[in-house]
Amino acid sequence: IDLYIDGRLFVLTNDNFRVIDEIPLSVIEGTEDTMFVLGACWHARASRLVQHFHGQLSGLIIEQNEELQRSSNCIRECHQYLDIPDVQSKPNVEFISNSNRSMWILRTDTAKSYEDLLKHIVYRNTFEPIGPYGQRKIIIRTGVKCLGEVNTHDLPIFTRYISIDEPKIPIKIELKADTNYIVPEDAINRGIYLFRTLSIYTNAMKKSQGDISDCTLITQPSLSNTEQIIVPQVSNLKKQVSNEGVMISGIESIDAYQSLLRQIAYISRTPITYVDRTFTLSCVGLYDKVFTNEIRVRVRIEKQMVPSAPVAAVLSNKLVVDNDQTRDNIFNVNEEESRMQQNKS
């Protein structure tokens, strides 16, 4: 609190610092509102205000210097204060603070000792977690009195701001999808979607912080001339397709990229050479150029073999044999039963 009387700052001394001392009032049962009192003191034993101001006030102006109201209200509760921790009292150097150490009075006999004393002033914040967020305003008012003079000269006011910023949470963008496919060869000839189950997640609080600038799809091994990756055309995005993969660029939302990536397909018009293929997908976020994780989709193709002609087949209790040499060695069940009945008769 700074007290101005008739436009002049009231300067605290060892004898008068209690005039504007910020001693908190005790909690009074039955009261719910905050009490602001000018020109009186709280008497704990009597549980009432005493020593009231006597006289007439021509005007009263109360200014709030803190940008964040909570900063000024919780100096005691949040443990915010100014401190001079590593300086001992010595002749011609004096420093004293109010009860909550929000204000200090420094007195020295030389400019050099005053400068050294200012260098030891620190701001402490022991609130867990540190806060509240916002700016703190530190004001230094200095009066100088030269030797042989009676009046003091006020130097320009020095102001310094201490800012406590809200911790910045790193933006993350994560890709999730199925990563293994076993596909018949005839399905590859018709084409398959590579990222049909793809989902893109982000922890960004603002939607624009989750925007994506580009995505890259790499094929291993490289595509042959009979293989192809099909990427739909989107007006706001550019695509570059080659045998090595696909490059998609352009600033768009997560939803737009997710919709496009789910429609990417792989197709082979002729019998494929490789039975195992890997498609690696990764993206880059626009905000802070954050990289996503990699999704590696493995496609394993089942080669379809043409079955060979059977050596023998059973049809109506008869063995049908295509091979003449094998037919001679087949055991005929019907002929053997007829021969056994003739022997019995």
* CATH 2.60.40 domain extents, the chain: 173-302
Do residues 287 and 210 lie in contact, with contact meaning Cβ atoms separated by under 8 Å? yes
Number of H helices, E strands in the chain: 6, 25
Q: Indicate the pTM of the whole model.
A: 0.47
Distance, CA of 187 to CA of 194 (rounded, Å): 13
User: So what's the pLDDT on residue 336?
Assistant: 39
Mean pLDDT, all residues of the chain: 76
Give the phi and the psi of residue 32 in degrees, each rounded to 5: -120, -20
Given a cut of 60, whether residue 182 has pLDDT beyond it is yes
Q: Considering the domain 173-302 in this protein, what is its CATH number?
A: 2.60.40
Distance from the first to the final alpha carbon of the chain: 134
Q: Cis omega before residue 232 (within 30°)?
A: no
- Greatest mean pLDDT among 20-29, 37-46, 195-204, 318-327: 195-204
User: So what's the pLDDT on residue 1?
Assistant: 63
1-44 confidence digits (pLDDT tens): 677 776 777 777 777 656 666 655 555 555 555 556 666 666 66
Residues 6+ apart with CB under 8 A from 172: 202, 203, 290
Distance, CA of 2 to CA of 10 (rounded, Å): 7
User: 3-class DSSP state for residue 194?
Assistant: coil
249-286 confidence digits (pLDDT tens): 999 999 999 999 999 999 887 766 667 889 999 999 98
